[in-house]
Amino acid sequence: MKNTREYEHKKVLVLGLAKSGVSAALLLHKLDAFVTVNDVKPLKENPEAMGLLEEGIKVICGGHPIELLDEGFELIVKNPGIPYTNPIIEGALERNIPIITEVELAYQISLAPMIGITGTNGKTTTTTLIDLILAESNQNPLIAGNIGTVASEVAQDATEDNVMVVELSSFQLMGINTFRPQIAVLTNLYEAHLDYHGSKTLYALAKKRITENQTPSDYLVYNYDQLEVRELIEDSKANKVPFSLYEKVEGAYVYNGSIYFKEEQIIELNKVALPGKHNLENILASVASTKLHGAENSAIVSVLTSFSGVKHRTQFVTEKDGRRFYNDSKATNILACKSALQAFEEPTILLAGGLDRGNGFDELIPSLKNVKGLVVFGQTADKWRQTGEKAGIEWIVFVENVESAVPVAYENSLPGDVILLSPACASWDQYKTFEVRGDMFIEAVHKL
């Protein structure tokens, strides 16, 4: 960890706990800052806060009192999920108090260079692939961010011999100041998180921040096939390296049944284990990033021929009586569900539904051509029924939840069918997280 005295005796408010808040508070305490933690959850229901109290850190729980700003804080480290419309954040902005997220702290203390990955979809798969390939190349990667361990915790133990591979959300990137990855990756850009950002333009600008501090000695790996991405990063100072499914570019691309990096053939497509066109974008991004970091082709081939998916992201679960089960619980929006559906040509039974955010699902109708059965649950079950009827799906069944959906799908399936959980909705109407929902699906499958 870099020795820094920047936070010594500085009054810092850590707003919101969870893993990132706990890590930030402990790190700042170690750096001799005067730390106050504020979390909305009451203290007796808040084991994280009680643990910080035992470390001698000041903790205020049970709400976000605006009076906190009268204590003269010089910096706020904000949990990424807290919106900028929060009264304390609005008040801090009015008083010109700097606001960062813990990934900025991670960058400031890390001795290791960073590869940062962002985008609407594919971040986790791309991050995982980069980590696996660099590990296979003996480059000592440390995976962090939205996947794995909090970045500011990983950075404390990182050395010059490591490379930090960090998955980054738009929420995290809004709170950076000096953060500068050696290699930045922008997988794609679609409409998302409008309730937080207010517009797609503001969302895109948040994503763009991954490259704002880069210099010509850094690299920006980006999706050449999206004009919007090309225009967004046009003024980046980084060395821009594209990837494309359709064109030969000065980066990673598909040509004549193989994946290439520049003029070098890396691997034939038919040897790649990970299914789906959307995953091919993730693979190209990871190939470009790891080649730029000096990975060996043999390491790339070894990973791409063996890696079959990240948990909850078109994850193959098992095959039973000729039916193959896939867990895509991470598909919390229409685009992710569409990508999963397009990965299969077999007759498919789709399990879908969840939190109602006000949208319908009719734009998925062209992607439902191979779906012969629909098992629906949650707040959006009836909306899914309407879409299924318009798409001419043979049969539609309402069930209570994911656990009850699995046996219904199995009983109505035939050998050769795919049974796919890809809800196109967040899980919060019935499950705490999409991971819990996916785990319930896996458990129900194994109970068969």
**Among residues 312, 329, 320, 327, which one has the least CA distance to residue 416?**
320
Q: Is 251 annotated as a binding residue?
A: no
| Structural tokens at position 253 | 């691309």
Residue 125, marked binder:
yes
Report the alpha-carbon distance of residue 278 to residue 67 in Å, rounded: 48
- Sign of the dihedral defined by the CA atoms of residues 75, 79, 81, 82, in that order: negative
Q: Residue 348 is inside which H or E element, if any?
A: strand 348-353
81 annotated ligand-binding residue? no
172 contacts 103 by C-beta, under 8 angstroms? yes
Strands 11-15, 34-39: pairing kind: parallel
123 is in an annotated binding site: yes
Residue 227 burial (10 A CB sphere; 0-12, 13-18, 19+): exposed
**Where would I find the beta strands (DSSP E) of 28-162?**
34-39, 58-61, 75-78, 99-100, 114-118, 141-145
Cα separation, 150 vs 183, in Å, equals 19
Is 44 known to sit in a ligand binding site?
no
Q: How far apart are CA 216 and CA 51, in angstroms?
A: 44
265 beta partners: 260
State which H helix or E strand residue 326 sits in.
strand 323-327
How many C-beta atoms surround the C-beta of residue 296 within 10 A? Answer: 15
Closest CA to 219 of 294, 152, 111, 304: 294
- Confirm whether residue 338 is marked as ligand binding: no
3 is in an annotated binding site: no
- Long-range CB pairs of 19-23, under 8 A, 24+ apart, other chains included: 19/150, 20/79, 20/80, 20/101, 20/102, 20/150, 20/152, 21/48, 21/77, 21/79, 21/102, 22/48, 22/51, 22/52, 22/150, 23/102, 23/150, 23/152, 23/153
> Which residues are annotated binding-site positions for ATP?
119-125
> Which residues are annotated binding-site positions?
119-125
